[in-house]
Chains A and B, each alone.
Chain A
Amino acid sequence: DAGVTQSPTHLIKTRGQQVTLRCSPKSGHDTVSWYQQALGQGPQFIFQYYEEEERQRGNFPDRFSGHQFPNYSSELNVNALLLGDSALYLCASSLTDEKLFFGSGTQLSVL
């Protein structure tokens, strides 16, 4: 039984570009949450998807958008990248709104 998988593991982009990160949840999980973690900080909640709809959103600008597919996998899109978007992006899946299972993350560097 595969856990949460994220791709790619590392990504380098330049300012102004757009990026798409992907996440496959743990088998049987229907809820996907995305977090941004800057170096030395805790994960910051971006948004959560359930039944293909954005259910909750953290304090992130509209440049951050997402999608959930019928198979529960999810994408995080970031437009007009800024240097400050450099961070580890974590995807977590859950079956209820309790215990989260995390992927290993995508390290995004914006130059």
Chain B
Amino acid sequence: SQQGEEDPQALSIQEGENATMNCSYKTSINNLQWYRQNSGRGLVHLILIRSNEREKHSGRLRVTLDTSKKSSSLLITASRAADTASYFCATDEDNDMRFGAGTRLTVKP
């Protein structure tokens, strides 16, 4: 079963704009992670935020976590065409990671 659910399902923006993706989950978590997938191949880990953290940065990525609302957001600033990919949130559940359906981001040059 899926734990996280991303919103929107698809997002199309121009290069240089910011992209925001949201994730909602159902049960309590120890951490929440975001992954990126290009062209249906392997996923690449982007960032991990723990349940006692509210915000985390990594380069052009900013992740927030609101455990009271069971939600997280991923912000990509100054987007590039190379950021075009699917983005998934994942939450830990019984010692394994469960993924949402993802947000398909398209960045137009």
Which residues does A use to contact B, with CB under 8 Å?
A: 4, 33, 35, 37, 39, 41-45, 48, 55-56, 58-59, 88, 90, 92, 97-105
A90 touches B88 (CB 8 A): no
Residues of B within 8 A of A100 (CB): 33, 35, 43, 45, 90, 97
Q: How far is the CB of B29 from chain A (nearest CB, A)?
A: 12
- In the assembled complex, the Cα of A42 lies from the Cα of B41 at a distance in Å of 12
Residues of A within 8 A of B99 (CB): 35, 42-45
B40 touches A39 (CB 8 A): yes
Nearest first, the 10 A-B pairs at minimum CB distance are A102-B42, A42-B99, A104-B42, A42-B101, A102-B43, A43-B99, A56-B96, A104-B41, A48-B96, A97-B95
Residues of B within 8 A of A43 (CB): 43, 88, 99
- In the assembled complex, the Cα of A92 lies from the Cα of B99 at a distance in Å of 13
A99 touches B43 (CB 8 A): no
B interface: dominant SS: strand
Tally A-B pairs: CB < 8 A.
65
Per-position contact with A for B20-33: 1 when CB-CB < 8 Å, else 0?
00000000000101
Residues of A within 8 A of B48 (CB): 98-99
Known A-B contacts A41-B101, A42-B88; the reply to A55 vs B43 at CB < 8 A is: no
Q: List 6 A-B contacts (CB under 8 A).
A: A35-B99, A41-B102, A92-B97, A99-B48, A100-B45, A105-B40
Known: A42-B2, A90-B42; 4 extra A-B contacts, CB below 8 A, are A55-B95, A100-B35, A100-B43, A102-B44
- In the assembled complex, the Cα of A48 lies from the Cα of B95 at a distance in Å of 9
Residues of B within 8 A of A88 (CB): 40-41
Q: How far is the CB of A97 from chain B (nearest CB, A)?
A: 5
Closest chain A residue, CB of each to CB of B90: A100
Closest chain B residue, CB of each to CB of A59: B1
